[in-house]
Amino acid sequence: MTFAVFATGGKQYIAEKGKKIKVEKLTSKGKKGGVEFDTVLLIEDGKNVTLGSPFIPGAKIIAEVSGEGRHKKVTVVRYKSKTRYHKKKGHKQHYTEITIKDIKAK
């Protein structure tokens, strides 16, 4: 079982072939198609572990965009006692759902 760790959108994700992942919104503007990630931090193929410093040169993760959407609403409440101050806000973060097709190490 091969897996890799890659970075996109300021976060790190674990990728396995065939797995669906929700990453921070990519600038595909609703287009379905392939996307490559070259910021691979770690690759583990069952026997060997390759670590990058910070990235592995020549390594790529090939994925396909399956859709876009928004996460569940996160509610933020600010409250100060004895001063009648309270504010309530909600936020839904956009995401792009990708399916991992292949993990290539150089």
Rounded to an integer, the average pLDDT of 37-45 is: 93
**Whether the Cβ atoms of residue 49 and residue 42 lie closer than 8 Å to each other:** yes
Tracing tokens 């933020």 back to the chain, one arrives at 76
Tell me the mean pLDDT in the region 52-69.
92
Q: Which long-range contacts (CB under 8 A, 24 or more apart) does 74-81 make?
A: none
For residue 31, what pLDDT band results from cuts at 50, 70 and 90? low
pLDDT digits (tens, 9 = 90+) for 73-95: 999 999 999 999 999 999 999 99
Whole-structure pTM value: 0.82
* Cα distances (angstroms) measured from residue 83 to each of 79, 80, 87: 9, 6, 12
> Domain boundaries in the chain?
3-104
Question: Is the model's pLDDT at 13 over the cut of 80?
Answer: yes
Is the pLDDT at 7 greater than 90? The verdict is: yes
